[in-house]
Amino acid sequence: MVTSTSEKYDKILQAAIEVISEKGLDKTSISDIVKRAGVAQGTFYLYFRSKNALVPAIAENLLSLSLEKIKERAKTATDFLSTLEVMIEETYKTTDEYRDVLVLCYSGLAFDYSLETWEAIYLPYYNWFEEVLNQAVRKEEVIKQLNVKWTAKTMINLIENAAELFYIGREQDVTLQQSKEELFQFLKRSLVPSV
């Protein structure tokens, strides 16, 4: 596979996200994708061996975009809880914007790829949040008795799951704001020392 930093690779990936969002994976053809990307069909195969090979690339792309937004907004966060609010807000936004593509990614990775692939895609996010948690422990913003590695993964997964339940699972017995606030308060109670 050719390096993923190519402009053509990015065009194909963006076109795939758009077309799959509109038609679904099964009804999307490689011809649809390359036409939208403005590249030759053979170019597609320089980067992907099949349409299904797009799934982990799309998942990685969406997670990278989401993480970039979270990191950018977290730069202005004054403490751990502010960073947590940013994570929740951006995760909900991404889930809402890309809900159809996320369903595709989850189902595609579940059937065609291993858990190791999924974990590798999430590694930069886990590592970044582990550092955020370590800093919060040092500043005594969260409890000290914390398995940071486990907590980082669990919190990321919980935040994403809550957003997915709201937008994809349609568990909307609460408003969007209530869903985010309940999640925030739950995590806060779990991590912040009692005063």
As a whole number of angstroms, the distance between CA 5 and CA 89 comes to 28
In a domain, residue 178? The reply is yes
Same-domain check for residues 89 and 153: yes
Same-domain check for residues 64 and 115: yes
Walk along the chain (195 residues) and give the pLDDT tens digit of each residue. Answer: 444 458 999 999 999 988 988 887 788 899 999 999 999 999 999 999 888 888 888 888 889 999 999 999 999 999 999 999 999 999 999 999 888 778 777 665 555 555 677 788 899 999 999 999 999 999 999 999 999 999 999 999 999 999 999 988 876 788 999 999 999 999 999 999 875
pTM equals 0.85
In a domain, residue 2? The reply is no
Backbone angles phi, psi at 24, to 5 degrees: 85, 160
Same-domain check for residues 11 and 63: no
Domain CATH for 23: 1.10.10.60
Taking each helix axis as running N to C, give the angle between helix 148-167 and helix 80-97, from 0 to 180 degrees, rounded to the nearest 10: 40
Instruction: State how many domains the chain has.
Output: 2
In a domain, residue 17? The reply is yes
Same-domain check for residues 36 and 59: no
What is the extent of the structural domain holding 74? 54-191
Same-domain check for residues 72 and 155: yes
Show Cβ contacts of residue 30 under 8 Å, excluding neighbours closer than 6 positions.
Answer: 41, 44, 51
- The position carrying tokens 């053509």 is 8
- The position carrying tokens 């800093």 is 135
In a domain, residue 163? The reply is yes
Show Cβ contacts of residue 167 under 8 Å, excluding neighbours closer than 6 positions.
Answer: 92, 95, 96, 99
Helices marked H in 24-114: 30-37, 41-47, 54-74, 80-97, 99-112
Same-domain check for residues 40 and 58: no
Same-domain check for residues 34 and 107: no
Same-domain check for residues 138 and 109: yes
